[in-house]
A and B are shown apart, each in its own frame.
Chain A
Amino acid sequence: MSEQVLLRRRGKVAPHLKDYIESGGLEGLRRAREMGPEAVCRLVTESGLNGRGGAAFPTGRKWDAVRSQPEPTHYVVLNSDESEPGTFKDRALIDSDPFLVMEGLLIAAYATQSERIFLYVRGEYAPQTRLLWDCAEELAAGGHLKGLGPNGSDVAVELRRGGGAYICGEETALFRSIEGYRGEPMSKPPFPTVQGLFRKPTVVNNVETVANVPDILTRGADWYKSRGTARSSGTKLYSISGHVARPDVYELPFGAKLSDLLELAGAGNGKPLEAVLLGGAAGTFVFPRDFDVELSYEGAAARGATLGSGAVIAFAEGTNLWQVAERLGRFFAHESCGQCVPCRVGTQRQYEILHELAGGAGGARERALLRSLSQVMTDASICGLGQTASTAVRSLLDAEAQGALAG
């Protein structure tokens, strides 16, 4: 197994601040305070850290955009809604090292000169909510929130629990949810860095993203970039499930091969695989001919795939992938917020057509219909949910057309 960075305290440290500090914790925050906000943003940009929530936006640039907004009130939001099927790495990360996540957030608040941190945690994640909140309280009691905010003020931490809607992981819907409205995505622009939560400049980051930050502060950008590829720095967490002997969260440097990961998890359990769903429900099916794909943002993109949030679901030979697609279709139809026509009606129609195909019915007409519908949803939907609700389906249609699908 390769070097564990993010998961190094997994199973080793009880979540108490004293132990965390003894094992090197809070050193990153101390360094940040020495450097000042602007230099922290610059360092994070230099490290090449990209957002791990799916969109892979450069984290340092996002922070610096918020830091330099003329509007004085800024916020930091932790996106811990993690509701995509097959994605559970944030939960594992909070379980194994909640202080690392909190330290990353405090650094984010300092670097962006934010007055408040909102922890938005998936409703079903009760133990993780407890862990994060206990850590926040211990950090506050220890005086570690002092002087991090604008003009040396203290930063405040607030907790919000999700109400069981996948769409509330989408950043603008998440803001609406925190504000007390229905979780409906808003248009971008304006981007959250300009007008986010309560219309104030806001950094929203994934759990895994912020967990990378403390080490960047203590060990530097060069150390960080020494792991990974030229365009994807550091290590990445993968949630593997499906037909594997050891479903779990694995940490690998960017640049590893999908086949390495599959081997680690004991994919297929002795049997060959039919395909892998890479990147979660909004990802693509990857077939054995592409199992040598390099797991990096650029490597995945070169094969028309995406890493998404790092979800990998394996399907053993003989699995009916149309049935898998039908299940994904049902997920999107169920989770669409219902705001825009292409997604509200489109995901329902997509599910209905997939239901036919999964049952062995449906022919060329249904396939053509899926394709034109996919184009409508991808082009005209308001947010990423509708825009990617047909990505996996399209990859399946393509594979089928190329004869890559068994039976």
Chain B
Amino acid sequence: MAGDFKISVDGREVTAHEGETILQVLRREEVETPTLCYHDNLTPAKACRACVVELKGSRALVASCERKAEAGMEIQTESERVVNARRGVFELLLSQNDTETAPNLVAQAQRIGADPEHYSGLRYERPLYDDNPLFVRDYEKCILCYRCVEACGVDAQNTFALTVSGRGFEAGIAAGWGETMPDSACVFCGNCVAVCPTGAIMDRREHQMRVQGRYDESQMQVTQTTCSYCGVGCQLELHVDQRTNEIVKVTSPETHPVTFGFLCVKGRYGYSFTEAGRE
């Protein structure tokens, strides 16, 4: 193809397409690469550093999610430095976060052999914000991946209700200057919930069920439908608890050409009419 070129990955020559990131090449070549902050539909935040690779000629390791592939690049994904850095990233996060609702993070950590006990020290302590009827924010689970900030900002919603505030270990996601969600610019589209990889922002129903010990993933049935509110025609996935026939949450497929997983408040949260008239 025009614009194709070669790069070397772990000593193997592979083809890259013009404009591709290193991560895209690695994925296509099935080179397993851990990622946390990376999301297919969001600008790479290059913040978690789980996807770093060693690039010949570069002093520090580079984030493969962000760095564009260039002809002749020589990349190592299994060198001692890469393995040590990736493990370090997961071990540092495991030493500060509550990972109860982040099975993906835990699974990746196990796969690369991260030791949860390697580091110890101050945990990331935050109050739980249960300040609106639609979602709950439990920032002890937050790994500061920037996904919610980007989804709420230019990558999807353009509402800019969320930002990072504070710095260093005290940095955290905030809605304005410590405002509650209802007082902020939030329009309750739930797109932050949709992209959060750790459950730090979670739909309130799911959160309540988890607190009550009633949430059981195996009882969830996903029903595909089209949103009935307007003519855009967003595809919805209704997550229904088979035991009660209740909708627990609504999502949209990240690959859907209309939504890319993003919805508005009506499509995501306007479902209680389906329960009208129930005992």
Cα–Cα distance between A344 and B124 once the two chains are bound (Å)? 11
Known: A348-B122, A380-B61, A381-B49. A337 touches B167 (CB 8 A): yes
Our pick among B46, B81, B92 for the contact of A346 (Cβ within 8 Å) is: B92
Per the 8 Å Cβ criterion, residues 140-180 of B in contact with A are 143-144, 163-164, 166-171
List residues of chain B with CB within 8 A of the CB of A378. Answer: 60
A182 contact set on B, CB distance < 8 A: 163-164
A337 to chain B, nearest CB (A): 5
- Cβ–Cβ contact A375 & B84, under 8 A: yes
In the complex, what residues of B have CB within 8 A of residue A352's CB?
Answer: 121-122
Q: How far is A348 from B170 in the complex, measured between Cα atoms in Å?
A: 10
Q: Is A195 an interface residue (CB 8 A)?
A: no
Q: Inside 8 A of B163's CB, which chain A residues have their CB?
A: 182
The stretch among A120-128, A263-271, A280-288, A328-336 that forms the contact with chain B is: A328-336
Contact with A along B209-234 (1 / 0, CB 8 A): 00000000000000000000000000
Report the nearest B residue to A345, measured CB to CB.
B92
B121 touches A349 (CB 8 A): yes
Contacts of A347 in B (CB 8 A): 168-169
Complexed CA–CA distance, A335 and B167 (Å): 7
Asked if B61 contacts A379 (CB within 8 A), the reply is yes
Q: Mark A359-397, 1 if CB is under 8 A from B, else 0.
A: 000000000010011011011111000010000000000
Collect the chain B residues with CB atoms within 8 Å of residue A230's CB: none
> Is A339's CB within 8 Å of the partner chain B?
yes
CB distance from B113 to the nearest CB of A (A): 14
Complex Cα gap A337–B47 (Å): 11
Cα-based distance from A339 to B89 in the complex (angstroms): 13
Chain A residues with CB below 8 A from B92, complex form: 341-342, 345-346, 349, 376
Which residues of B112-140 are within 8 A (CB) of A? 118-119, 121-122
* Any B CB within 8 A of the CB of A187: yes
Within 8 Å CB of B60, what residues of A?
A: 378-381, 387
Residues on the B chain within 8 Å of A165, using CB: 167
Q: Chain B contacts of A344 at CB under 8 A?
A: 144, 168-169, 171
Contact of A349 with B81 at beta-carbon distance under 8 Å, contacts A333-B168, A344-B168, A379-B52 already known: no
Q: Quick check: B85 and A338 within 8 Å, CB to CB?
A: no
Q: Give Cα A335–Cα B168 distance, bound, in whole angstroms.
A: 6
Query: Does B47 lie within 8 Å of A341, measured CB to CB?
Result: yes
CB pair B170–A338 under 8 Å, yes or no, is yes
Of A348, A381, A387, which one neighbours B168 at CB under 8 angstroms? A348
- In the complex the two chains form, what is the Cα distance from A337 to B170 in whole Å? 10
Cβ of A358 under 8 Å from chain B: no
CB contacts (< 8 Å) of B93 on chain A: these are 341, 345
Asked if A340 is an interface residue, CB under 8 A from chain B, the answer is: yes
User: Are B89 and A376 in touch, CB under 8 angstroms?
Assistant: yes
Q: Which of A167, A187, A336 meets B63, CB within 8 Å?
A: A187
Cβ of A339: which chain B residues have Cβ within 8 Å of it? Answer: 47, 144, 164, 171
Distance, CA A223 to CA B89, complexed state (A): 50
Q: Which residues of A contact B50 (CB under 8 A)?
A: 341
A276 to B75, CA, bound (A): 39
Per the 8 Å Cβ criterion, residues 153-180 of A in contact with B are: 165, 167
The residue from B85, B89, B119, B168 contacting A337, defined by CB atoms under 8 A apart: B168
Q: Which residues of B contact A373 (CB under 8 A)?
A: 88, 119
CB neighbours (8 Å) of B9 from chain A are none
Beta-carbon contact of A342 and B81 below 8 Å: no
Interfacial chain A residues near B164, Cβ < 8 Å: 182, 338-339
Residue of B nearest to A352 (CB): B121
Is B254's CB within 8 Å of the partner chain A? no
Shortest distance from the beta carbon of B217 to any chain A beta carbon, whole Å: 27
Contact partners of A337 in chain B: CB under 8 A: 167-168, 171
B99 within 8 A of A: no
- Shortest Cβ gap from B12 to chain A (Å): 23
Interface residues of B in 78-109 (CB under 8 A from A): 81, 84-85, 88-89, 92-93, 95-96
Question: Across the interface, do B88 and A376 meet the contact criterion of CB distance under 8 Å?
Answer: yes
CB neighbours of B95 from chain A (8 A): 345, 349
User: Which residues on A sit within 8 Å (CB–CB) of B122?
Assistant: 348, 352
> With contacts A348-B122, A379-B81, A380-B88 known, is A341 near B49, CB below 8 A?
yes
Rounded to whole angstroms, the CA-CA distance of A341 and B86 in the bound complex is 11
Q: Chain A contacts of B74 at CB under 8 A?
A: none
Using Cβ atoms and an 8 Å threshold, which residues of chain A touch B85?
A: 342, 375-376, 379-380
Question: Is B168 in contact with A336, judged by CB distance below 8 angstroms?
Answer: yes
Residues from chain A with a CB closer than 8 A to the CB of B205 are none
Is the CB–CB distance between B169 and A345 below 8 Å?
Answer: yes
Tell me, yes or no, whether B67 is within 8 Å of chain A by CB: yes
Do A338 and B81 touch (CB < 8 A)? no
Decide if B200 is an interface residue (CB 8 Å cutoff).
no
Q: Is the CB of B143 within 8 A of A341?
A: yes
23 A-B pairs (CB sep. < 8 Å)? A165-B167, A333-B169, A335-B168, A337-B168, A338-B168, A338-B171, A340-B46, A340-B49, A341-B47, A341-B48, A341-B49, A344-B168, A345-B93, A345-B119, A345-B169, A346-B88, A347-B168, A347-B169, A348-B169, A349-B92, A376-B88, A379-B61, A380-B52
List 7 extra interface pairs beyond A369-B118, A380-B61, CB under 8 A: A182-B163, A337-B167, A339-B47, A342-B88, A342-B89, A345-B119, A380-B88
- The 3 A-B residue pairs whose C-beta atoms are closest, nearest first, are A338-B171, A376-B88, A345-B92
